Structure 1
Amino acid sequence: MWGKLIAATVLGLPLSTFSVGAVLYAWPGPWQDGMVPGMLAILPVWLAVVAASPLFRSAPRAWGSLALATLAAFAALSAARTLGG
């Protein structure tokens, strides 16, 4: 239980930050206009990841899944910045 919670706490913050950032860069118009709503959206997304962490079967599966999701969100953010900028 604690391993899953720590995984979600540690990896959930970059996951939520990268995810919200990718949405902001992909949104039409300048990304600076969505900065404040985006920063406000990071906390509920992070809390949703932490709240869903007990659904993983084991702590190693949580670490692996969240690490892959974080890398995918980072790739999406990089692609959005490259293609949208």
Structure 2
Amino acid sequence: MMGTKWLAGTLLGLPLAIALCTLGILWLPGGWHGGVVAAVLLSFVGWVTLISLSLLFRTSAAAWLWLGGANLICFGVLWALRLTNTMPAASALAGS
């Protein structure tokens, strides 16, 4: 029985896919400006993959905990990069 594993993948998979793609484009040679369109497209593919993979967890609670923990780690890394000013601003007006 699937339970709510698919729901965990749906609700927690999208922010995780976006965070993973964001971490991936930060270190591109042209900066994030050159890879943002590809990252948006890949985040959809990543989201569908995470929904599918969430069904492989043994229990629904495990799916929620692992995906929630992965979200916390990825967004924690993004937040730490932002606080240390090693991540570029999303807008040219953000530095003003």
Identity of aligned residues (%): 34
Shift in Å at residue 84 of structure 1?
A: 4.0
Q: Which moved more, 1:69-78 or 1:16-25?
A: 69-78
Q: Which moved more, 1:59-68 or 1:27-36?
A: 27-36
Shift in Å at residue 79 of structure 1?
A: 4.1
Q: 1:36 is matched with which residue?
A: 37
Q: Which has the higher contact order (CA 8 A, sep 6+)?
A: 1
Q: Which moved more, 1:26-35 or 1:60-69?
A: 26-35
Q: How many residues are paired up?
A: 85
* Residue type of the alignment partner of 1:83: T
Which runs of 5 or more structure 1 residues have no equivalent in the other structure? Answer: none
**Larger C-alpha radius of gyration, 1 or 2?**
2
Task: State the TM-score, normalizing by the size of structure 1.
Answer: 0.88
Conserved? CA contact 1:19–1:77, under 8 Å? no
Q: What is the SS of the residue equivalent to 1:55?
A: coil
Cα RMSD between the aligned structures?
1.5
Task: State the TM-score, normalizing by the size of structure 2.
Answer: 0.79
